[in-house]
Amino acid sequence: NEAVEFYISTNPGEGFKPLVKVASGGEISRLMLAIKSAFSRKEDKTSIVFDEVDTGVSGRVAQAIAQKIYKIGSNGQVLAISHLPQVIAIADYQFFIEKRSDENTTVSTVRLLTEEERVEEIAKILAGSDITEMARE
């Protein structure tokens, strides 16, 4: 029976500590993204799911994550769950997931967005409820 324990330093000047004790869910997801990115090869056709790998980031970091996910997707299939426009916009397809509940049940539905719906949903994320033409562009 063998085990591996990863140690990381999450901030400059800090020593290495066990990954499971110091890393947030988002940091663990981004570490997984880095590992998958390093090991993805053209001959490897895989399917990978990233569940909010972009949690807690924005701006340039979000754009870098989006580009890494896109690169991995060029060698296989990636399903990325995200709330960031940088990650959503770079994808080939966008799906809308909606959850509805009543007293007894909860039902989730998933549907592929049309090009027009795609623009509107990304604009909502950028601008909130007051969507502008600038957000649509």
pLDDT tens digit sequence for 92-129 = 999 999 999 988 999 999 999 999 999 988 888 888 77
**pLDDT of the residue at 93:** 94
Enumerate the domain spans of the chain.
Answer: 26-92, 93-137
Instruction: Using a cut of 0.75, tell me whether the model's pTM lies above it.
Output: no
* Cα–Cα separations (whole angstroms), residue 84 to 20, 103, 118: 26, 31, 13
Contacts with 116 (C-beta within 8 Å, 6 or more apart), sequence order: none
**pLDDT of the residue at 118:** 92
**pLDDT of the residue at 23:** 80
Across 6-57, the runs of DSSP E, i.e. the strands, are 7-8, 17-18, 47-51
Q: Among 57, 48, 4, 5, which residue's Cα sits nearest to residue 27?
A: 57
Of 95 and 52, more confident: 95
Question: Residue 44: pLDDT above 80?
Answer: no
